[in-house]
Structure 1
């Protein structure tokens, strides 16, 4: 028995419903996906191994919602609820929105995979399609700074999807957890720091300094979004260029 087959035995011994639970554990360890009190949505959640990992990570003050077409047997976690439905249908997304409420979610994770045909190009394309569907759900539900994880099979279409995601997050990594089987072509796209700013790096604009930061920088507001400007004086109108955008603020330089 190989070392990676040991994950199956560990899942049985430690009470996880699937060996894939260790993939999410490893993704969380390397990418800091979850924090106590977070709200997490798990797409393709059956049989529930990822739900267990997320529920333990966010704790009693957190919330985890799983979605799958298959029935998910009830879990012994009070912070977990499930929605049965197909994420390709608008009705399922509407029900999910009702469950998570208007506050948004801190992380969307997806282990969705297509029914395998054995034809590599078809299976790869279908996995990218599912990952892109999960990505659209993430854009709909994530709070600023939120994180997204999706499984996809390696192949020619992966780079395009990653490039799309990079426009909406601080950074995107491609990760292969140790718990993935040797023969599998699966990878996980891990996107950190969802960006919802009304501006982007390279934008040039004129702003008015309305406040002063703790370190002496001037503070301007662009459609309610905070921009730090070096050596700004309250009441001053300055021309700036956006240098770096974070989920909740940006840094600019004077032009």
Structure 2
């Protein structure tokens, strides 16, 4: 029995709508994507295999929304939006349904995970199929920036090729880190891989930036605490009232670290 038959038969036996369900299971096992109670948006969700897995992982307290131009048969506990992901109108509908990435005073707001298994209609011409897959992945990425809360995660499929590294670099700038994963459920002959980005960054600074910051307080570890547009930077050997030029050394979703520039 081939691996293709194995995953196809397992999907039928276990009630999943596509063998692709096992790709999301394996991505989650590898990267820890979806937790109990999470809000998840699945872009290009038809026929719904990923939605089924996402709902299992998010649990009864989670919210799962699927988006696709094709009609998605109802799934218990899952909401759907019908529309073309490349249209701005569809993206506006998603934001209206689940909210954007802005947080309120309590730090709430935005979704936890955006996932995309979108793929172009295959032409058999490698360079064209690759370019179209990158376009869809980039569309999903740009949509995720509108939706994700700080610290949220993103996954998108892309066909490997000359434009993959540029896409990865763009994604990497907006997240703590990004890695590529080829799930076991993908066919050996397939050039598909998944960009898995962890920790959405909404900070106004990035690693390597040099900025002036006023130290407002001292933290429990003795580092000075400064603010850049409401974002917290920890600066060693800085005292309240100091205004120092710093170089940002590490950026997390809700705080970062910097060193004074001599």
Same-fold status (TM-score > 0.5): yes
**Which aligned runs of 4 or more in structure 1 are off by greater than 4 angstroms?**
none
C-alpha distance in structure 2 between counterparts of 1:38 and 1:248, whole Å: 18
**Partner of 1:35 in structure 2?**
35
Checking the alignment, whether the CA contact within 8 Å between 2:116 and 2:155 is kept in structure 1 is yes
CA deviation after TM superposition for structure 1 residue 226, in Å: 0.3
Deviations 1:25-46 (A, max 9, x none): 1111111111112111101101
C-alpha contact 2:95 2:146 (8 A) present in aligned 1: no
Work out the CA distance in 1 between the residues paired with 2:6 and 2:97: 36
User: Residues of 2 paired with 1:245 and 1:209: CA distance?
Assistant: 18
Partner deviation per Cα, 1:71-130 (whole Å, 9 max, x = no partner): 100112x2x100011011122112111110242111111000111111111111111111
Aligned residue for 1:17?
A: 17
Map 1:51-62 onto structure 2 (within 5 A): 51-62=51-62
- Structure 1 runs not aligned, ≥5 long: none
How far apart are residue 48 of structure 1 and its match?
Answer: 0.6
Report the counterpart of residue 6 of structure 1 in structure 2.
Answer: 6
Segments of structure 2 that go 5 or more residues without pairing to the other structure are: 101-108
Distance 1:5 1:183 in 2: 15
* Secondary structure of the corresponding residue to residue 109 of structure 1: strand
Write the distance in 2 (CA, Å) between the matches of 1:64 and 1:44: 13
Tell me, yes or no, if the aligned pair for 2:153 and 2:200 is still in contact at 8 Å. yes
Q: For the aligned residues, what is the CA RMSD?
A: 1.3
SS at match of 2:3: coil
1:4 is displaced (CA, Å) by 4.3
Question: Match for residue 150 of structure 1?
Answer: 156
Per mean C-alpha deviation after superposition, the further-off stretch among 14-23 and 230-239 is 230-239
Deviation (angstroms), 1:141: 1.0
1:97 — aligned with what?
A: 95
Output the CA distance in 1 between the equivalents of 2:252 and 2:38: 20
Partner of 1:250: 256
User: Residue 112 of structure 1 aligns with which residue?
Assistant: 118
- 1:211 maps to 2:209: no
1:48 alignment counterpart: 48
